Amino acid sequence: MQQLFRQLPSVDKLLKQPQAVDFIQQFGHQAVVEQLRKLVERARQHIQQHQVLPDFLADETALFAELSLQLTQLQQVQLRPVFNLTGTVLHTNLGRGLWSEAAMQAATCAMQNNVALEFDIDEGRRSHRDLYISELVAKITGAEAACVVNNNAAAVLLMLATFAKDKEVIVSRGELVEIGGAFRIPDIMLQAGCKLVEVGTTNRTHLKDYRNAINENTAFLMKVHTSNYHIEGFTSSVLEEELVALGKEFGLPVISDLGSGSLTDMASLGLPAEPMVQQKVAAGVDLVSFSGDKLLGGPQAGIIVGKKVWIDELQAHPLKRVLRCDKVILSALEATLRQYLLPEKLSETLPTLNLLTQSVDLLKIRAEELKEVLGKRLNSRYILQVEPSLAQIGSGALPTEKLPSVAVTIESEKQSDLLALEQRFKQLPTPIIGRFADKKFWLDLRSVAQFEPLIEMLSFNTPLFSKEGQGEIWKK
């Protein structure tokens, strides 16, 4: 073993080699030295465990090839793209919706240039960074003004902290939601310094329940859209219009956490109906909050719309600066919202709505193509079929509603074969993420946005793995 250790190269000697000099020019001296030392240490550990030199020390070519790989990986972003074939279009764990071309162009422009973020060009003086969004949202929703923060949870926190600190907020017991990441309405109220007053029961709440809970310390009447669950059967809830009338009677504002925040009539697109922001504004709700990266189809943001007098107070609160968005997000959000000025084109311009409105016939064609390509790559122990599937919108929108879809299903006699295949899909240059159901692995076509690149990656001429991995699952 000592003889093997003596064969380990000297870092100083390697640094004088022409390949190392080139790498130093490209990556810098510090990075090259650090990676060479790590390679030598890896080799030392390999010798201790296996009593042989590692493959990358077979010759200098192999060594510098490994060094090149390690140096390149230093600059590779680990937040990798994936192909979403789960059937959940707005998959929170996979980054929710995709940006439109207009949003990407606007964001890129903001990245590369100074922009009039807080500057009124016409007046030549300081302005507010939400100004353009506010004017645009007002035009789309009918609200007087808008405030933008980094997500809808932040929007709810800002509203409560601004108007309800040390006061009470009345909410129906059936609307005390919890969403992904342990976001709970009661916890947000605690952080905002206000007291939650629950009224009604889980399944039934009446207007008199709100009325009986009002006192001199009440700050808000609050509605929360139960976007990620649905109660059926013997139920009753209070409409916003009724709460607004009650609020006016007692001089209390009404706020609504709408969650997904649709700005278009989903039913007109052939999709299940979802409450619209415009409807809540028209009902007289004082403040409505919603997300930017769900049904709206834009970047992550929390948008609050409503009466200007209330919005102005939100803008002046110290938390607003903590929760505000940068120029890139605001540019992308504005570009997304401008698509709503051409409502008949939304399913073409917004990727989220495009995916949701794809025809089943198109999905069948794509599924057959995917099946054919996979059939050329997978070995004979995998059985492929094209089957009807049920997709979903995701991110808490319409949780009980399913969308007709089509999937390629993969079966095998052994569950271990499917688990191995799932792991190999995750090891692809761009990982494929599907779902398990009914002892099959499902690749649902409703949620995949980049279909042609998916087919190209799986094409027979594309190398998928190193040689040692091919024989187990893939045809040689």
Q: Which CATH architecture is the domain 101-347 placed in? A: 3-Layer(aba) Sandwich (3.40)
DSSP for 68-84 reads HHHHHHHTS-SS---EE
Q: Which pLDDT score, from 0 to 100, does residue 182 have?
A: 58
Nearest one of 261, 314, 265 to 292, comparing CA atoms: 261
pTM recorded for the entire structure: 0.86
Nearest one of 422, 408, 420, 414 to 439, comparing CA atoms: 414
Q: Copy the structure tokens of residue 202.
A: 């889980």
In this structure, are residues 314 and 302 in contact, taking their beta carbons and an 8 Å threshold?
no
Q: Which pLDDT score, from 0 to 100, does residue 368 have?
A: 97
Helix residue ranges per DSSP H, 120-239: 131-141, 152-163, 185-192, 207-213
- The packing angle between helices 152-163 and 185-192, to 10°, is 40
Would you call 183 helix, strand, or coil by DSSP? strand
Beta bridge partners of residue 443, listed in sequence order = 408
Q: Which CATH architecture is the domain 83-91+355-459 placed in? A: Alpha-Beta Complex (3.90)
- CATH 3.90.1150.110 residue window(s) in the chain: 83-91+355-459
Q: Which residue has 């409502």 as its token pair?
A: 343
CA dist 69 and 38 (Å) reads 13
Residues of the chain with pLDDT under 50: 465-470
- CATH 3.40.640.10 residue window(s) in the chain: 101-347
Determine the residue type at 183.
F
Taking CA atoms, 247 is separated from 133, 176, 215, 414, in Å, by 28, 20, 12, 62
DSSP for 351-382 reads HHHHHHT--HHHHHHHHHHHHHHHHHHB-TT-
181 CA to centre of own chain: 13
How far does the chain reach from its first CA to its final CA, in angstroms?
38
Q: Region of 418 please: left (phi>0), alpha (psi -120 to 50) or beta.
A: alpha
Instruction: Say if strands 178-179 and 168-172 run parallel, antiparallel, or are unpaired.
Output: unpaired
User: Which residues are CB-neighbours of 378 under 8 A, at least 6 positions away?
Assistant: 384, 410, 421, 473, 474, 475
